[in-house]
Every structure is written in C-alpha cells, then in structure tokens.
Structure 1
Amino acid sequence: MGIASINLKAIVAASIAFVMISVAAQAQEADLNDESELLEALVMADPAEAKRLERQLQALWSKSGSASADLLLKRGRDAMEAEDYGVAIEHFTALTDHAPEFAEGWHMRASAFYNAQLFGPAIADLERALTLNPNNYTAMLGLGHILEHINQPELAYDAYVRAQSIHPHHEDVSKAVSRLAPQVQGKSI
C-alpha cells in the first residue's frame, strides 16, 4: 500500500507539472500570436488606432512572467522617472541578471545608460534587446538617437527606417527619418 501511495503521488505530481508547463506554453504562444497580430494591425492602422495598439504592445512587452522581475522593472522605471539613473541602472542590472531573456529589461537599462551618458553600454544593451525582440521599435529609435549623437547619421537613419517600417505612425520616428533623409540621401547606406 505504501509503494502504491508513493507511485500515485509521483504520478499526480508529474501530471500537475505537465499541465502547468502546457498552460505556460499556451500562454506564451497566445502572447506571440497577440504580438504578431498587434504588429500587423499597427502597420495598417490610422494614427489614432496606432496609439492604442502601441499601448497594447508596450504592455505586452513589459510582461516578464515573474513577480520579482516585475518589481525590479517598476523600481527601475521609478528611478528613471526621478532621474536617478545610477539607481535605475542598478535595478535594471539586477533585472537582466534575474531574467536575461526578458528584452524589456535590456531595453530599459539601455535607456538608463543613455541618460547617464554611457553610450557604449547603452548600444550593447540595445543590441541585446533587439536580438531578443527585433520588433521593438522604441529600442530601434533609441539606437538611432545614440548613433545620431555619436555622429553616425547613416546608421542612425537605418535604425529609424527600420523602426518606421514597424510603426509608421510613431511621431518621433517620422521626425527623425525626415530630419536625416537629406543628409544620407545619395550616400551609400
């Protein structure tokens, strides 16, 4: 009877683990479907609809799936809002250590580095963020800003054009493309 009870407990535990993994995989798949649908709609949207879709995408990209990661993200964003970039970098570093596959952590730490005038680390973090989420037009916009700041207008323009292809109605992206187009037209990019 004792062995049967142990086997039953093991079977129940294995079944619960399987169900939990399946539910998590389905939720992640649903998020991916939502993201691709939102991105497709964003390209075709009018400017008012684009703002709504942008908010939904930002909310989706801010989901870490971990309460502790969410707390670190919130604390880092709060520090950014208070313009305490050193503290923000600390929180976002803890976040990237805790959740290295969470693109928004890298993106936000890049923003903190940028605001602290640490452009090399900001570029490295944006590269990581864009590797994890190549559709993050705000990370591309940030990369363009840095490249423009360090006098790389052709590369900045490329980043802005890529961001615009994902979010054609983003006002800052459109302004940046218009601003740099005269500088880079006629040059090989």
Structure 2
Amino acid sequence: MRLLTAFCLMLVLTSTARAEDVDAQASASTTLNAAPEKPEVTRQRQLDALLGKLHTAPANADVSKTEDEIWQIWVRNDSPTAEVLLRQSSAAISAGDYDPAEQMLSQALETYPKYAEAWNRRAALYYLIKRYDAALIDADHALALEPRNFGALIGKGLILQAQKKHDEAKAAFEEALQINPHLDAVAAMLKQIERDRPNI
C-alpha cells in the first residue's frame, strides 16, 4: 500500500514537472513570436476540450499527451516570475531541499494567491514532510481555484489517507477518477482501500 501511495504522489509530481518543462519551451516560443495572452475564456475552453478527450479515449489508450497539455495549462501563470518560482521549487523538491522549496512557493503565493498550481505544489510538499493539516488546507485552496485538477484531488486523497480519514480519501480518489478515468494507480488504490476496509 505504501508503494502504491508513493507511486501516486510521484505520478502527480512528475506529470507537473514534465508539463513545466514543455510549457517553459512554449513560453519562450510565445515570447519570440510576441503572441498575446489568451483570455480566461479561451483557457477554460481548452481545458473543457482536453478533459473531454480523456473521457472519450478508450480505456487502454495512451493519454499522456493530453494529460501533459492539461498540466501545461494548469502550471501557466500571467506572471513569468510565478512560473519560475514554481519550476525552481519543483527542482528543489526533487533534490530533497524542502526548506528552500517552501520559501519559494510561499513567496509565489504571497504575491499570486490565485495561482492554483502553487497551492497544489505546496500541498504536495507539506504531505512529503508530514505536515498533513497544512497540506490539506493548501489542497483545498488549489481545488477552490481549479476544481477539476485531478492531481490536487489525488494529493488530497493521499493526505486524508495519511490522517486515517479513509472514507474521505476514497471520495477524493473517486472524484479524481470521474475527471480522469485513466488514473490506473488511483483505481488500484481504491481497490486496496476496499480490501483493507475490514481492517480499518
């Protein structure tokens, strides 16, 4: 069960990190071409279309490209500074440098409190260092701003599971699967929760 939990967390962190790398290249290209920022309505339409693709894709389809495109939208911010702080914090988390990562994410959130992915990333960080109450608060902030962020829902489920709130964790995992049915590790975790229920 611990291995599956760790795998789910790494799935979220590596997916967002991969999207950051791709989005950094896209941002550089956008700057060179002097293309204007897309309005929020366009962003939501893009998300609607991409999340819809996840639902129409066959069960065994490779949806990694679609997931990457979704994460690219979620990690994007109007401020290049906020995006740099997010990328640097990701590198720090990967290196195990948790204090600098927390400082960078807190700095981003002080200036850009509506940056949902920064809340989500700090929630993941707090989960890693077992500050579960703080992690849950940040996960809820992320989901208030971006309710369809299946990564934040996975993170919330992991936090609740660590707090022994198994029914609430199950509900968070189920919601994540409703948004993205291709989260095989999450589906496996739900089955494990059901198997362990008599022992909970």
Superposed, which structure 2 residues align to 1:1-189 within 5 Å?
24=37, 27-46=39-58, 47-183=60-196
Higher relative contact order (CA 8 A, sep 6+): 2
TM-score (normalised: structure 2): 0.76
Structure 1: distance between partners of 2:84 and 2:75: 11
Structure 2: distance between partners of 1:27 and 1:49: 30
Task: Flag the structure with larger Rg.
Answer: 1
Deviation readout 1:12-61 (Å, 9 max, x if unpaired): xxxxxxxxxxx65x532111100011111111213434222111111110
Question: Structure 1 residues 160 and 92 mapped into 2: Cα distance closer, same or farther (>3 Å)?
Answer: same
5+ long unaligned stretches in structure 2: 1-35
How much does 1:171 deviate? 2.0
How much does 1:181 deviate? 2.7
User: Identity rate of aligned residues, in percent?
Assistant: 26
5+ long unaligned stretches in structure 1: 1-22
| Aligned partners of 1:86 and 1:116 also within 8 Å | no
| Aligned partners of 2:160 and 2:169 also within 8 Å | yes
Structure 2: distance between partners of 1:181 and 1:167: 20
